[in-house]
Structure formats: structure tokens, C-alpha cells
Amino acid sequence: MDKRLLEILVCPLCKSPLHLDAAKHELICKADRLAYPIRDDVPVMLVDEARPLNTNEVL
């Protein structure tokens, strides 16, 4: 994923910065505990497509 794109992307729900989890191909919102998928190098920034993080997942 392009680092410049990562710098400007924010969570569509709360507008917090997102953090890349390259191993899982996801963008993580720590504030909302949501993981937005990255498919074919394109972040899917839809709240309905986000995966809630489990309580045991490390942020």
C-alpha cells in the first residue's frame, strides 16, 4: 500500500488515523476497534465491510 495514501486516510466513522496491518491486509482504527480490509491494494473504507476487532487482538 502506498505510504502517501496511508498518511491521508482516516476512519470514515470517527476520522481517526488508521494503522496498516500488512500481514492481515487491513487498516486498523484503534479508536473504534475496526479493521477495514484491503483488497487488490485498494482499501475498502465502508463501515459495513469493516471487521470488529476481538478483545484479544493486539492494537
Tens-binned pLDDT, residue by residue, of the chain (59 aa): 788 988 999 999 999 999 999 999 999 999 999 999 999 989 999 999 999 999 888 77
Cβ density class 6-25: b for 16+ within 10 Å, e for less: eeebebeeeeeebebbeeee
20 part of a folded domain:
yes
46 part of a folded domain:
yes
Q: Which domain holds residue 10?
A: 3-52
> What's the CATH number where 45 sits?
2.20.25.10
Q: Classify residue 17 by its DSSP letter.
A: B
pLDDT of residue 56: 86
**Residue 18 grid cell:** 488508521
57 part of a folded domain:
no
59 part of a folded domain:
no
